[in-house]
């Protein structure tokens, strides 16, 4: 009986660890989606977002998991960033500028394509 409880505990622990490290697990399982170090070094990524936006959080998480360096500007807290955001057409968040290509909304495939 104790062995069964221990197995369940270890299984739950494994699931929690895998969930917390999903970005690393995903890189191992799907290496074609890994961004090369050279691409990362040349990346110029700017994220216009807010703290409360769910898609902004997903975008940050995606960029972090892929190891893509980026600058983020909160358009609610930074007046200059708000003007820059409006100059780009505004109308929704996030807006991501990837090497001069504008991406509106959370679109990981478009981000990866713009990096190549």
pLDDT bin (cut points 50, 70, 90) of residue 93 is very high
Neighbours of 37 (CB within 10 A): 9
Which pLDDT tens digit goes with each residue over 49-90? 999 999 999 999 999 999 999 999 999 999 999 999 999 888
Contact 114/99 with Cβ under 8 angstroms? Answer: yes
Q: Which ranges of 1-116 does DSSP label H, i.e. alpha helix?
A: 2-20, 22-29, 37-42, 54-66, 79-87, 108-115
Distance (Å, whole) CA 61 – CA 39: 18
The arithmetic mean of pLDDT across residues 3-30, rounded, is 73
């Amino acid at each position: 009986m104790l062995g069964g409880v221990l197995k369940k505990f270890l299984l739950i622990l494994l699931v929690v660890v895998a969930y917390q490290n999903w970005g690393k697990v995903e890189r191992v399982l799907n290496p074609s989606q890994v961004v090369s170090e050279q691409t990362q070094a040349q990346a110029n990524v700017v994220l216009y977002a807010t703290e409360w936006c769910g898609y902004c959080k997903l975008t940050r998480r995606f960029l972090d998991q892929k190891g893509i360096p980026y600058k983020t500007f909160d358009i609610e807290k930074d007046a200059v960033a708000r003007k820059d955001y409006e100059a780009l057409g505004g109308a929704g968040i996030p807006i991501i500028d990837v090497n001069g290509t504008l991406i509106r909304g959370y679109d990981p495939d478009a981000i990866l394509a713009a990096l190549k």
